[in-house]
Structure 1
């Protein structure tokens, strides 16, 4: 049977405990998960450098040989195909996330018919955490350690 590889793409600026929760729960469904940090064309600059974030996420998952962390700058569907990922793993915090992710999944399915999007509902205790909130707290010197699975 073919390896079940899932791609978990995002800008992850920064990667949060909510993201970590989706990845760890995804391991119950997939043999391998590729966390792919992409350059978001909607965002002009990043708060945390991509290479810094790759390093931090790798540290968080160092005990999991079936989790890879990479960066990419192309269409998600094409990157998934190149890496043998037939599943796109995404987390949903609320209905706004669903609307956004649903549209993207339709386009990805059109570009790569063999790819299925799999949505996991965020654990309630983590649903309020967002990268933008963490950036704001960090920017003004607040402690964000309880919201991220690695140290800054």
Structure 2
């Protein structure tokens, strides 16, 4: 039987508890989960691709199973094909996410109808978490400990202290 490979793409800037919830649950659906760390041209990252990959690898190390962390800078479907994936795993937080993800899934299906998109609803307690908001809270000196692991919190706070907080 062929190995089921899933791809969970994202910028993970930084990786949040919401991402970890989707990774834990997504890893149960496939034999191998490839976490694709990418750069979104419409976002300005706080961390480099290499830093984000290290962060993701550290965070997923205790999950178990076959989880790989790979960077990519191409169309998602081209990346998924290169990985031998049969599914794309996406997390949904709200209706706005669904509308965007539904459109993306439709476009991706047009590019390759052999790769399914699977949506996982975020845990209710984690639904409001977004990396963009975590960074914004940190930049303004807020507490992000409820949204990221302690190690990620330390990295974000250190980066914010390096680039300077707003409102000081």
The 5-angstrom pairing of residues 20-99 of structure 1 reads 20-43=20-43, 45-63=44-62, 64-99=64-99
Matched residues in 2 for 1:107 and 1:91: separation?
17
Give every structure 1 segment of 4 or more consecutive aligned residues whose post-TM-superposition deviation is greater than 6 Å: none
Structure with the bigger percentage of helix: 2
What is aligned with 2:125? 125
The 5-angstrom pairing of residues 109-120 of structure 1 reads 109-120=109-120
Which ranges in structure 1 are unaligned for 5 or more consecutive residues? none
What is aligned with 1:7? 7
Shift of 1:107: 1.0
Deviation digits for residues 6-29 of structure 1 (CA, Å, limit 9, x no counterpart): 100011111110010011011221
SS class of match (2:42): coil
Deviation digits for residues 85-126 of structure 1 (CA, Å, limit 9, x no counterpart): 110000001111000001111111111121000000110000
SS class of match (1:147): coil
Question: What's the TM-score, normalizing by structure 2?
Answer: 0.85
Which ranges in structure 2 are unaligned for 5 or more consecutive residues? 156-168
Structure scoring higher RCO (CA < 8 A, sep ≥ 6) equals 1
Deviation digits for residues 49-100 of structure 1 (CA, Å, limit 9, x no counterpart): 2211110110111132511111110000000001101100000011110000
SS class of match (1:59): helix
CA RMSD of superposed structures (Å)? 1.3
What is aligned with 2:166? none
Distance 1:136 1:87, change over 3 A: same
- Count of residues in correspondence between the two structures: 151
Answer with 1 or 2: which has the greater Rg: 2
